[in-house]
Chain A
Amino acid sequence: MRSVSKGVNGKRTLIPVGPFHPLQEEPEFFQLWVEGETVVDMDLRISYNHRGIEELSTRKTFDQVPYLVERVCGICSSTHPLAYIRAVETICGCEVPPRAKYQRTMVTELERIHSHLLWVGLAGHFLGYNTVFMWAWKYREPIMEILEKITGNRCAYANAKIGGVRRDIPNELFDDIVRAVDSCWGPTEMLTNAVLDDPVLHARLVDVATLTHEDAIRYCVTGPTARASGVPIDVRRDDPYDAFDLVDWDVITFPEGDVMAKAKVRLLETFEAIKIVKQAVRDCPNGETDAGVEEVPPGEAIGHVEAPRGETFHYVRSDGGRCPVRHKIRAPSYVNVPSFRASCIGQHVADVTIAMAAVDPCYSCTERMAVTKDSKTGNELMDAKELQELSVQRTRWFEKQLGIEPFDKRWGPKLQELLA
């Protein structure tokens, strides 16, 4: 049950954007109060799908938490574990081996490329420009494939662990990575030129929903949203982690603060990300990939990294036990989305939708428990066991469809070995 805040006077009409709306794939509820076509007030309700990850995290061991937090968001699935791991590494005071640092950098930057291309596509879709949507997502596919090749999954990579990386990326795959990012350069250039040159896009993006420099600071926004308003903050430079201080790259900033500036920041950042990946592949040394952290001493620390959408901020407190005592997660959208109050009021409805999309809102960022209940009896319909059962069935079905050997046969002996 959700209440709708009351309008101040009768002339206003409520335009609901959500909880289910084609603009967003996720449930959240923007209430736009409009007079004619102009938005005069806005409110937001979230958490239709609260998952209680912060609480769940305190019931997992330190080594299991990365698996949980990478499920906060599928698109930022390398940055959430990384922020957590940075916090825990600070508590432990361990030094990460250089090879692991470079490999973490590769994965986060590949993720940034695919995330920014995803945004370009979605922004096109929100403007009714579906060709851009399809094209951008097509060009993003090689990146997703290379990520699957080097980490085993298109998202939720599970590559980072406390003190290093879980699986080493073999040197033989480095050429494939370079090939994949190279295949992305040309299309990204084409998309950038298309955005910069198209007069109709200019009409829709320039001077639309401007977030001023002052407001960007007052609303504490991060990431591309801040950089497009001339606030030059980037955790990769301001608090360097992994290999970001060892490679050469630039922070992209634009002073305008409109939707166009946000698009430019993301597109140009994609090129920087490609550069970073190529340098990381070139410089990646041989050697250990794991510092071998055994236990976490009592203490507290923060860890933050630059996710594609902005700063992902984690706070971890340990009492020396097996699980964190408290794990706070602040995803970038949680601070970026509320800035709509500064940028969207007074704009046209048509502009507000693209402006809301321009901060690249990731609603799983703001929603962190879903229980399905029978409305008549109140019994829970699905528990964890049933869900696991279902996913196992699904895997079997896929194996059968693709003619792959079953999982147990492929990995059974190896697992036995590892367990022994």
Chain B
Amino acid sequence: MSDTATPSVIERFETKLCDEHAICETRKERQGVYSVPIAKLVPLLRDFISNDNARLATITGIDVRDGTELLYHLCFDDHKYVATLKVLVPRTVDAMESITPWLPGAEFIEREIHDLLGIDFTGHPRMERLILSDDWPEGVYPLRRGFKKEDAQP
């Protein structure tokens, strides 16, 4: 790997993130994972996407012990850097503010996570089935850990 990401830019991102009580979990040459408090995530995303020319690559959902982790992958194409912002959605909540109203590219990504992991994105214009078929039983999410094939019988 020849050139690394522009350091000053990363410093700026990190200052911005630290101001919002984000914790840097891992930092590699050209990518980093930051844990962000759930309330701060959407304003931060909006700031990065509209001011820093960041591009949302995708959102990864992971079913962990206490809830669901959502990882927002942001590509800073101009600075050769990929930042992953991580939030934990507690099992008791299972909902997250949708970013689709101002970023239409996230529509399908959020619908997929809704289908597979059961996170409800509040404010999403059409939170309908996308991946699962219409006769799939309610409340059964195939990417959750407790999922059994038998549960999926319509």
Contacts and interface: CB of A to CB of B under 8 A. Distances in A.
Q: Is A bound to B?
A: yes
Interface of A: 1-3, 45-47, 50, 52, 54-55, 90, 93, 217-221, 233, 238-241, 245-246, 299-302, 304, 311, 313, 315, 317, 325-326, 328, 330, 334-335, 337-339, 341-342
Contact of B71 (A55, A218, A315): A315
20 contacts: A2-B133, A3-B134, A90-B31, A217-B55, A220-B106, A233-B75, A239-B30, A239-B82, A240-B80, A245-B2, A300-B33, A301-B28, A302-B57, A302-B84, A304-B82, A330-B57, A338-B107, A338-B108, A339-B105, A341-B104
Contact of B60 (A46, A55, A233, A328): A328
Contacts of B55: 217, 220, 233
B103 interface: yes
Q: Is the interface of A mostly helix, strand, loop or mixed?
A: mixed
A240 B77 CA distance: 11
B114 interface: no
Contacts of B77: 233, 238-239
Nearest to A215: B104
Interface of B: 1-3, 26, 28-31, 33, 55-58, 60, 62, 71, 73, 75, 77-78, 80, 82, 84, 103-109, 130-135, 142-143
Pick the 6 closest A-B CB pairs, nearest first: A220-B105, A330-B58, A328-B60, A219-B105, A238-B77, A47-B131
B60 A315 contact: yes
Contacts of B71: 315, 328
Contact of A46 (B109, B131, B142, B143): B131
Contact of A1 (B2, B57, B84, B135): B135
Given A1-B133, A342-B104, A300 B73 contact: no
A10 B131 CA distance: 29
B133 A328 contact: no
B31 A302 contact: yes
A221 B58 contact: no
A315 B74 CA distance: 12
A369 B30 CA distance: 34
Given A55-B142, A335-B108, 19 more contacts: A2-B133, A3-B134, A90-B28, A218-B104, A219-B105, A238-B77, A240-B3, A245-B3, A302-B57, A311-B57, A311-B75, A313-B58, A315-B60, A317-B62, A326-B62, A330-B57, A330-B58, A335-B109, A341-B104
A241 B82 CA distance: 14
A316 to B, nearest CB: 10
Given A55-B142, A301-B28, A335 B58 contact: yes
Nearest to A328: B60
A3 B73 CA distance: 32
From A300, A311, A339, residue with most partner B Cβ within 10 Å: A300
Contact of A334 (B1, B26, B31, B108): B108
A47 B58 contact: no
Contacts of B31: 90, 301-302
